[in-house]
A and B are shown apart, each in its own frame.
Chain A
Amino acid sequence: MTPRAPSSERAHRAGAAAGDVDRRGALRLMASGVALALASCGRPPEEVVPYVDMPERLTPGVPLRFATALPLGGYARGVIVTSTEGRPIKVEGNPRHPASLGATDVFCEAAVLSLCDPDRLKVVRRGDEIATWSAFEAALLGQMEQERARHGAGLRILTNRVTSPTLLRQIDALLKALPEAKWHRYEPIDDDAPLAGAAQAFGRPLTALPRFADARVVLALDADPIGAGPGQIRFGHDLVRARQSHSAQEFLRLYAVEPAWTLTGAAADHRVALHHALVRNLALAVAHELGAPSPDTPLPPDAARFARAAAADLKARAGQGLVVAGRRQPAEVHALCHWINAQLRAPIDYIAPVDPSSMSHNDSLRALADDIASHKVQTLVIIGANPAYDAPGDLHFADALAAVPFSVRLGSHDDETATRCTWRLPQSHPLESWSDLRAHEGTASIVQPLIRPLYDSRTAHQMLALVGGAAAGASLDQVRATWTPQAGGDLGGWWRRTLQDGVVANSAGKPVTPPSAKLPQVQPAGTPNGLSLALAPDPSLWDGGEANNAWLQECPRPFEKQVWGNALHVSEIDARRLKLEDGDVVRVQANGRTIEAPVLVRAGQAADTLAATLGHGRTHAGAIGNGIGFDVYALRRSDAPSRWAVDGVTLAPAGRRQNLLLAQHHFRLDGEAEDLQPRLTLAELAQGKHAPNAPSANPPTLLPPESRDTYAWAMVIDTTACIGCNACVVACQAENNVPVVGPAEIAMGRDMHWLRVDTYEVHGRPGFSPIPCMHCEHAPCEPVCPVAASIHDSEGLNVQVYNRCVGTRFCESNCPYKVRRFNFFGYADGAEYANLGAECVRAVFNPDVTVRGRGVMEKCTYCVQRISRARRAAEKENRAIRDGEVVTACEAACPTRAISFGDRNDPKAAIQAQRAAPHAYALLGDLGTRPRTTYVARLRNPNPDLGEAQA
């Protein structure tokens, strides 16, 4: 069928792998099947291979947990990694870490898969030949001789954003030794505008850290603080914390104005879609209300009303009002925000930038490009960065690299940049290396390895040591050297404490009191002419560095549920005008560059605005990421005012269509169907309005009541708290060995996620409800299974016994929630997608969870392995499992604590209150399935002055 377009033959190979249609294959399958059925006959002998010398602290079968930190855009998120028999298999948040608070995001969760990515660069390469580290060190030695001779005049170091104190110390030392050398750093997801704005307002760059928890009215100007990013977990958590109360006064009211949908816009109580250029006018209007002598600014009427209402609201809540602007807005708008916040005495901390270098990312990279162009660069050492892919198109960096006589690239993959460098060196994964990192708000953490490097790779620290002329040495020593002063006398003790906590005690950025913000001169924008393209980091791929991670590629984007690719989002108005439909491929032309992209029509997107995400269209990512989606970095210009908006875009139909791979096809709910995702305003709640199908309101039944003599596990999901970040989806995948099916299978309408997030639009406002198995007390899937593979256990779990399942799929047919997933092929066992069957990938499997074979049904188990672990632990101590002792993977991952799990028979359990809430509901409760997973309806706090018009 048509949708099989992009990688069908790849998938076919995968499909056939289940026993390539030959006799032997079939027989082998049969044999294994029989072997599974019978106790032991015909099984090949099994071996027990003990250690020669058992490591300390290790008991086979008992997992260990280590605190470390993972970078995103150079900033740390503190994590605790579970390791079984030396294999890191699961990442969870570190409660002590301010940028994690115990939760994770999709990127943390997927890190373990990146670690054993078969496409990682495994050996040193010189050009295309395989070389050795010693060969490289020799070559580098010679090169550095010359550099030292000319004080490093020809030496350039290029990195991503660096927050690692050790790395900064090393770079500093290097630059001291070679004063002529230069260090450039480029992060494609930059924060240039905010810093420049702060510089305008305060005379020096400062990082603003909004304290959402203390705010009660927030206006987001084209900003997405709770969208993917280093601060997502913290900001999401704080913002939702402020939206818990049931009183309109205490419940944070969120206003959002944005050109295209963001998670912040989805969470907002009021949102207007506005062209990115007009946002400044709205900012001016708000400033005007707050007494700025700003000129009259042209705004659409609804935006104007919105601005007045928001401004009034902000003014009314002095000390609790807060305005944030996004990276797309120019520096002066940020400066204006600082001025507004100053007027509002907004709850914001200002700290010195965690990333110390003052130059903007864009200028830094341009400077390097210029130097290369003028042949000033003899030696280029690139650590991690991938400019050949993610530099603005006008720099033509890929070609520029060729002009460098001696270029070195230390990186995880043999990617776009590496393949254009003289030397390609394998870099150790963060889970393999000693290092240190700072969080977006400054807190430092020690990065400790979970596993010895899988390949002969080096860390950035070792690389810099080599460049400095020393031996690579051990990163551990370099890191310890950095922190020795901190430790005071007793480094050993300090070190052990810090490693255990996962954070360096009181290392957070010290809040400074900024000088009074100057009111900047902001010229109002005229009505925009022509289309402009609003860019954003990809919610699953970020800047594209992780494009070869199959979990991320197959993680449905929050709004359109697209997987394995991106699309050009066109607003409904423009689509109608240009006669475009979903799947039409268009030529996008801007700045003399042209790319082809499939169209996806989006309601609620500003007119004359196109939207697309970065991070796609990789050419050298690896077997998973190559050729997925289209690359919009090419359209960026380094000399444009902003990297985040491309103006003057023209569209031309390319005359073909492309099937968009969507995990969900119907989004709009109206009429009775709105009950599927009920939403209440605080006012309605106060008037005693209830959500339909309260968990307790069960239709009568003839079936016997289930036993109450033991635990009754139940889950409550608060849809007010759910921001749609998908952390739970990937967490579930990592915990439960949920396989990836690949684009061809998705096109066939198949997927494997045990936990999906349903996105529905009610009156044009999107909302998210995570859908795990409901574990119905009267489960429709159970009576229909002929072999009792789908069956209840006494604790109310609706268990699926894989080894008993014969695969009639009657259970899924009869599941009203369609949460069961079937292995049409051996997705995890014999028919893996692309290279996911490689031996090294098997290392991520959780040994406590069966790896399901072909032809069996599977589904959410409430993480039964965790329940069982807790039960055994409790029974050894002859006690009951405590409330909160069992934490499911999705619950642990959730940044906003939207998911809670516990024993419904325990009157003191935390979930009781939520189940009893007036706006609690059971999805499709009227069917009498009595789901154990229940929901709390989405609460909103609209401004009565604005009414529902923009609610």
Chain B
Amino acid sequence: MPQLFRPYADTVARSVLVALLVLPFAGIALAYWTMRSNYITGETVTLEQPVPFSHAHHVGGLGLDCRYCHSGVETSAVAGVPPTHTCMTCHSQLYTQTAMLAPVRESLANGTPIHWNKVNRLPDYVYFDHSIHIAKGVGCSTCHGPVDRMRLMRQAAPLTMGWCLACHRDPAAHLRPPEKIFDTEWQPPADQAEQGKKLAAFYHVDNKHLTDCSVCHR
């Protein structure tokens, strides 16, 4: 009877068998890698804003304190984006004619708020509270990065649950002294290991229960 298959059929058969074993795992690996990629987490992504507000200029250049605009950060869950009035405290005097600031002036004139694009976004089922983090020695730049060097605001951390948990499991590594909370250039000192322990004691930060689901989800 005639030959059914060519010799390469063997190779095909074998590679198929191998693929059957390998592909599933390859798939999982790929999925995992994608989930962590900036494309998914939005890390380093910079968004267009109605007004190209530059933290680099206001914080890095003029040295404004974070709380000047984000006034709720010590008392409220949300740090708060400043009302148009806050911008106008200066800009009623400075750059009063620049086209760049037109939206701000309109906002004040028509009483219509400015629609900023949210940069650091958590899912609705995550109840993050700025004030408690500030009160417990977690500085702004720990999550928001060196805003004083950002022309347009960008997301500086992956903001994945794993990332949150890393700190909730070992907060000491990220704690800083009270006077450094709003220091956007703060870097953990060489001896953060024992500094952190001291600070944890000072702030009464205890990581035993920080990973309870109910800490962030309700």
Chain A's closest residue to B75 (CB) is A59
Chain A residues with Cβ under 8 A from B116's Cβ?
Answer: 47-50
A928 to B81, alpha carbons, bound, how many Å? 51
List the A residue with the shortest CB-CB distance to B136. A875
Interfacial residues of chain B within 74-122, with CB under 8 A of chain A in the complex: 75-78, 80-85, 107-108, 111-118, 121
| CB <8 Å contact, B115 and A49 | yes
CB-based contact A849/B213 at 8 Å: no
B193 at the interface (CB under 8 A from A): no
Report the minimal beta-carbon distance from B18 to chain A, rounded to whole angstroms. 31
Question: Shortest distance in angstroms between A805's beta carbon and chain B's nearest beta carbon?
Answer: 11
Neighbouring B residues of A795 by C-beta, 8 Å? 209, 212, 214
- CB-CB < 8 A to B118: which residues of A? 45-48
Q: Does the CB pair A59–B76 fall under 8 Å? A: yes
The residue in A46, A52, A59 that gathers the most chain B C-beta atoms within 10 A of its C-beta is A52
Contact with B along A801-827 (1 / 0, CB 8 A): 111100000000000000000000000
Q: Which residues of A contact B145 (CB under 8 A)?
A: none
A447 to B121, CA, bound (A): 40
Contact B78 A61, beta carbon cutoff 8 Å: yes
Q: Which of A48, A50, A848 contacts B84 (CB 8 A)?
A: A50
Q: Flag if A51 contacts B83 (CB, 8 Å).
A: yes
The one of A54, A848, A872 that contacts B218, using a Cβ cutoff of 8 Å: A848
A60 touches B135 (CB 8 A): no
On whether the beta carbons of A797 and B214 are closer than 8 Å, the reply is yes
* B107 to A, closest residue via Cβ: A52
Contact A876 B131 (CB under 8 A): yes
Q: Using a CB–CB distance below 8 Å, which chain B residues touch chain A?
A: 35, 39-42, 47, 71-72, 75-78, 80-85, 107-108, 111-118, 121, 123-125, 127, 129, 131-132, 135-136, 158-160, 204, 208-209, 212-215, 217-218
* CB under 8 Å from chain B, chain A span 524-566: none
Q: Once bound together, how far apart are the Cα atoms of A777 and B163, in whole Å?
A: 30
Do A801 and B213 have beta carbons less than 8 Å apart? yes
Distance in Å: Cβ of B170 to nearest Cβ of chain A = 17
Instruction: Tell whether A60 pairs with B214 under 8 Å between CB atoms, given A39-B160, A48-B116, A50-B82.
Output: no
Bound complex: CA A861 to CA B131 (Å):
24
If A47-B116, A47-B118, A61-B76 touch, whether A39 touches B83 (CB-CB below 8 Å) is: no
A864 and B218 within 8 A (CB) = yes
When the two chains form the complex, which single residue of B80, B111, B114, B124 contacts A61, counting CB atoms closer than 8 Å? B80
By the criterion CB–CB under 8 Å, are A793 and B209 in contact?
A: yes
Asked if B129 and A872 sit within 8 Å, CB to CB, the answer is yes
B213 touches A799 (CB 8 A): yes
Given contacts A39-B159, A801-B213, A876-B135, A53 and B83 within 8 Å (CB-CB): yes
Q: How distant is A823 from chain B, measured CB to nearest CB, in Å?
A: 14
Q: Does residue A868 face the partner (Cβ distance < 8 Å to B)?
A: yes
Residue A5 is within 8 A (CB to CB) of chain B in the complex: no
**Identity of the chain A residue whose Cβ is nearest the Cβ of B45 in the assembled complex:** A40
Find chain B residues with CB under 8 A from A797 CB: 214
CB < 8 Å neighbour of B114 from A39, A50, A867, A876: A50
A850 at the interface (CB under 8 A from B): yes
Instruction: Assess whether A865 is interfacial by the CB under 8 Å rule.
Output: yes
A702 at the B interface (CB under 8 A) = no
Shortest 6 CB-CB contacts between residues of A and residues of B: A793-B212, A61-B76, A46-B118, A794-B209, A51-B83, A61-B78
Kindly state whether residue A710 has any CB partner on chain B within 8 Å: yes
| Shortest Cβ gap from B50 to chain A (Å) | 10
Chain B CB within 10 Å, residue with most, of A48, A49, A62: A48
Q: Are A801 and B217 in contact (CB under 8 A)?
A: yes
| Size range of the chain A interface in the assembly | 35 or more
Residues 19 to 60 of chain A near chain B (Cβ within 8 Å): 36, 38-41, 43, 45-54, 59-60
> Cβ of A51: which chain B residues have Cβ within 8 Å of it?
83-84, 113
Contact A36 B81 (CB under 8 A): no
A→B interface (CB under 8 Å): 36, 38-41, 43, 45-54, 59-62, 709-710, 791, 793-795, 797, 799, 801-804, 848-850, 861, 864-865, 867-868, 872, 875-876, 878
Q: Report the Cα distance A52→B123, complex, angstroms.
A: 26
28 A-B residue pairs with CB within 8 Å = A38-B35, A38-B40, A39-B42, A41-B39, A43-B121, A45-B47, A45-B117, A47-B115, A48-B116, A49-B113, A50-B80, A52-B84, A59-B75, A59-B80, A61-B80, A709-B208, A793-B213, A795-B209, A795-B212, A799-B213, A799-B217, A801-B217, A803-B123, A850-B124, A872-B129, A872-B131, A875-B135, A875-B204
Given contacts A39-B158, A52-B108, A793-B209, contact A60 B218 (CB under 8 A): no
Given contacts A47-B118, A59-B75, contact A803 B209 (CB under 8 A): no
Q: CA of A52 to CA of B84 in the docked complex: distance in angstroms?
A: 5
Tell whether, in the assembled complex, residue A59 and residue B158 are in contact, meaning their CB atoms are under 8 Å apart. Answer: no
Cβ contacts under 8 Å, A52 to chain B: 83-85, 107-108, 111-113
Q: Residues of A contacting B71 with CB < 8 Å?
A: 59
Q: In whole angstroms, what is the CA distance A49 to B80 when docked?
A: 10
Complex interface: chain A residues within 8 A of B75 (CB): 59, 62
- Residues of B with C-beta under 8 A to A799: 212-214, 217
In the bound complex, CA of A51 to CA of B69 (Å): 12
* Distance of A51 Cα from B116 Cα, bound (Å): 12
Provide the bound-state CA to CA distance between A62 and B160, in Å: 26
Q: How far is the CA of A62 from the CA of B80 in the complex (A)?
A: 11
A49 to B82, CA, bound (A): 10
Asked whether B81 lies within 8 Å of A48 as measured between CB atoms, the reply is yes
Q: Is there an interface contact between A40 and B40, defined as CB atoms closer than 8 Å?
A: yes
- Rounded to whole Å, the gap between the CB of B20 and the closest CB of chain A is 27
B42 and A60 form a contact (CB under 8 A): no
Shortest C-beta distance, B24 to chain A (Å), equals 20
Residue of A nearest to B125 (CB): A803
Q: Which one, A710, A791, A878, contacts B209 given CB within 8 A?
A: A710
Q: B210 — nearest CB in chain A belongs to which residue? A: A794
* B127 partner residues in chain A, CB cutoff 8 A: 848, 865, 868
Q: Which residues of A contact B80 (CB under 8 A)?
A: 50, 59-61
- CB pair B76 A62 closer than 8 Å: yes
Given A52-B112, A864-B218; A872-B84 close (CB under 8 Å): no
- Whether the Cβ atoms of B218 and A868 lie closer than 8 Å is yes
The 8 Å CB contact of B121, one of A36, A40, A50, is A40
Contact: B84 with A794, CB < 8 Å?
no
Query: Shortest beta-carbon distance, B119 to chain A, in Å?
Result: 9
Q: How far is the CA of A794 from the CA of B121 in the complex (A)?
A: 28
CA distance A876 to B84 in the complex (A): 30
Residues of B contacting A60 in the complex (Cβ-Cβ under 8 angstroms):
72, 76, 78, 80
Chain A residues closer than 8 Å to B77, beta-carbon distance:
61-62
The smallest beta-carbon distance between B155 and chain A, in angstroms, is 9
What are the residues of chain A within 8 A of B208 when measuring CB–CB? Answer: 709-710, 794
Expressed in whole angstroms, the Cα–Cα distance for A62 and B83 within the complex equals 16
Contacts of B107 in A (CB 8 A): 52
- Residue contact A40 to B85, C-beta cutoff 8 Å: no
Chain A, residue nearest B118 (CB): A46
Q: Would you call A39 and B218 a contact (CB within 8 A)?
A: no
How far is B95's CA from A192's CA once the two chains are assembled, in angstroms?
73
Given contacts A50-B80, A875-B204, contact A61 B115 (CB under 8 A): no
Cβ–Cβ < 8 Å partners of B121 in chain A: 40, 43, 46
| Contact among B81, B123, B213 for A791, CB-based, below 8 A | B213
Cβ of A710: which chain B residues have Cβ within 8 Å of it? 208-209
In the complex with contacts A52-B83, A876-B131, A850-B76 CB distance below 8 A: no
- Cα–Cα distance between A46 and B215 once the two chains are bound (Å): 24
